[in-house]
Structure 1
Amino acid sequence: MAPGRIRDDQERMRDRGDRDDDRYAEEEEYETVSASEAAREGLRQIVSLTGKDPLGITSVEPTDDGWLVGVEVVEDHRIPASTDLLGLYEVELDMTGSLLGYRRTRRYQRGKGDGG
């Protein structure tokens, strides 16, 4: 192998550690989602992950890294429906609407959510 060829190969290998603009998208290429889009995505993610029946979105708030969405779901259907067990989930999304994490923050009986 010629000395010039070896140097070219070494430079290519060293450059692999650098960011390749063709392979990785710049942050500017991603569109940030609005509050309403984040709310819909948070609801969709919880339904997809838990399989629970959604009741609605209870909150949407911006964070430093994206959005925090509150979603209320039916944890356990009971008869009569007034005794259903409900759950409140917090969904964390990044600025583009991608899921970062979620957790159930409360579980309570329908009609007794705020009273204790």
Structure 2
Amino acid sequence: MSTSDDSRESNGREGSGKRLSLPAVMRQASEQLADLVQCEVGAVSAIKANENGWSADVEVLELERVPDTMSVMASYHVELDSEGSLVAYERVRRYARGQIDRR
């Protein structure tokens, strides 16, 4: 295994053109978004492979409040390329942590 192969695997990337694993993409989306928006990631609520890589919805804690149910959360839609690098993100919703969607 070459040095470039070692670095790809240590970053959660798989060699020889294989698609990243779902857990690796979840980690990549969480870590990169947290770094960009400087907020704690709560969860990856959706993830889907597409022709250009991956898309995911990531929930983050934007403003911590007491009680916890009043904390402000946000949902971000992110796009990652086939190697797991974040290429776009957009905040699509803000809500109180205790809020439940009515669907």
Place the TM-score, normalised by the shorter chain, in its bin: 0.7 to 0.9
Question: 1:65 is matched with which residue?
Answer: 52
Structure number with greater Rg is 1
Correspondence 1:18-97 to 2 at 5 A: 30-97=17-84
Unaligned runs of 5+ in 2: 1-14
Which 4+ stretches in 1 moved above 2 angstroms? 28-32
- The equivalent position to 2:90 in structure 1, one of 86, 93, 103, is 103
TM-score w.r.t. the length of structure 2 is 0.77
Which structure carries more strand by proportion?
2
How much is the aligned-residue C-alpha RMSD, in angstroms?
1.9
3-state DSSP of counterpart to 2:24: helix
Q: How many equivalent residue pairs?
A: 89
The CA distance in 2 between the partners of 1:113 and 1:77, in whole Å, is 18
TM-score scaled by structure 1?
Answer: 0.69
Instruction: Specify every segment of 5 or more residues in structure 1 that has no aligned partner in the other structure, as ranges.
Output: 1-27
Identical-residue share of aligned pairs (%): 31
1:80 CA drift (Å): 1.0
